[in-house]
Amino acid sequence: MELGAYLAESTAGMGVLGAIVAGTNATAKNAELLRVGAISETDAVLDIGMEALKNGVATALTFGTVAAIGGELIASIGATLVIGATLKYFWDRGAEHLEITGKPPVKTAPASIKQAAKA
């Protein structure tokens, strides 16, 4: 059996396929950054791992959701693009927030709500 056909049989397999593609792309990107000295080997390895992980998870969640929703081919393609892009967007924004602040991106209640809760 071919690898692509095997992986396409399950949601987890699609996640693995997404991780392979993302890891390959990140490797190519980081190879050039390493060549010009713009990134350390450690940072390159971490970036490759994070790209593979987040895209694998986003791919698996996307295909699981689309499979559960069902629908015609065009609608499924549209849902795949919207769901996948949304998941990756929020993962990236959360990671950026964590890098900048060192805290997860959790919103706190406004002061007026906190005061009302104390009363």
Half-sphere exposure of 67 (CA within 13 A, CB side): 12
Count how many domains the chain has: 1
pLDDT tens by residue, 84-119: 899 989 888 888 877 777 776 666 555 555 555 565
- Its domain, for residue 39, covers 3-118
Calpha distance 116→111 (Å, rounded): 9
Query: What phi, psi does 86 have (nearest 5°)?
Result: -65, -45
What is the predicted pLDDT for the residue at 105?
62
> Rounded CA gap, 64 and 19, in Å?
15
Whether the pTM exceeds 0.85: the reply is no
